[in-house]
Amino acid sequence: MSTMTLLEAANKAMQHEMANDERVVVFGEDVGLKGGVFGTTQGLQNEFGDDRCFDTPLSECGILGTAVGMALYGLRPIAEIQFLDFIYPGFDQIVSEAAKMRYRSGGEYTCPMVIRSPYGGGIRGGHYHSQSSEAYFCHTPGLKVVIPSTPADTKGLLIASIRDEDPVMFLEPKRIYRTAKGEVPDGEHVVPLGKGRVVREGSDCTIVAYGAMVPLVEKAALEAEKQGKSMEIIDPRSLVPLDEELILESVKKTGRCVIVHEAPRTCGYGGEIAAIIAEKAIEYLEGPIARVTGFDTPFPYALENLYMPDVRRVMSGIAKTFNW
């Protein structure tokens, strides 16, 4: 076991797979000698050479289209997009090409590629560097969407994503790149996609959160405990495929649910989770499902602390489902 940050864990996952599989290549803007805008790919070019870790032109469409071609010809590309906010020029390559390759070829071809990108707020990046647009990709059949919240999960989920036969959106919560620290298994460590995690066991209310919202709701759970309320926290880890069974089991036990994410409320992924609970566990509910989310506005620069969910707003969501 080694103690590392979430950012370091992502680096170790790529290093491990590049060392064990010569088909794995990493590319994107400034990912070479500079190591990427956050330093996530630091040292990979020095270790594996500039034919396996290299810089690209500033063209998201070009980066992602190249990754699709590489995947179809037998490589295992990892394409980095500097910020999720920048991905839209390459959106068509993801949803119209990569996501549909297995279906359109009748299973003859797969598109094993990983698109890594930091997402979300917390760094005062304003509306062009802070978006949480995971729901766009969850809506596209053929894509898998993975969001870690701990260093150990980052390494294990990224290795699983690189080895997967289908395209994976691997979204990294940049707010906790360096603040989330924990023990990470050395060497081989794989966390299967589609299996959620019980972060904290409880009996009175389920909180579902992912990414940077997980450590936030852990703080809220401690506050609720002071009021005599026992919170169970579920981290889905992957949104597609989603571990419905884990969420439903928890809600059936607690009878209440609060869903927390950074993305805007309307059509945010929390709405999907709420619908699943309403369809499959409504008879167990003792209060309404509460959503604590970002607002339906562009992500603000000066008012970032008001836009993003905080402990106070999570506590308000908990109160809503208890006081019904």
Quick one: DSSP state of residue 127? G
Kindly report the CATH class assigned to 2-184: alpha beta
203-235 pLDDT, tens digit each: 999 999 999 999 999 999 999 999 999 999 999
Query: Which stretches of the chain drop beneath a pLDDT of 50?
Result: none
Look at phi and psi of residue 39 and say left if phi exceeds 0, alpha if psi is from -120 to 50, else beta.
Answer: left
Tell me which amino acid residue 291 is.
R
**pLDDT at residue number 292:** 98
**pLDDT at residue number 24:** 98
- Let me know if the fold of 2-184 is the same as that of 197-322: yes
**pLDDT at residue number 324:** 87
**pLDDT at residue number 86:** 97
**CATH assignment of 197-322?**
3.40.50.920
176-200 pLDDT, tens digit each: 999 999 999 999 999 999 999 999 9
Strands 181-184 and 2-5: antiparallel
**pLDDT at residue number 240:** 98
- In the residue annotation, 129 being an active-site residue is answered as yes
**pLDDT at residue number 202:** 98
84, 237, 263 from 248: Cα distances, Å: 30, 15, 22
**Using CB atoms within 10 A of its CB, is residue 141 exposed (0-12), middle (13-18) or buried (19+)?**
exposed
Active-site annotation holder among 16, 129, 189, 261? 129
Rounded Cα gap, residues 96 and 129, in angstroms: 25
**pLDDT at residue number 58:** 95
The structural domains of the chain, with segments of one domain joined by +, span 2-184, 197-322
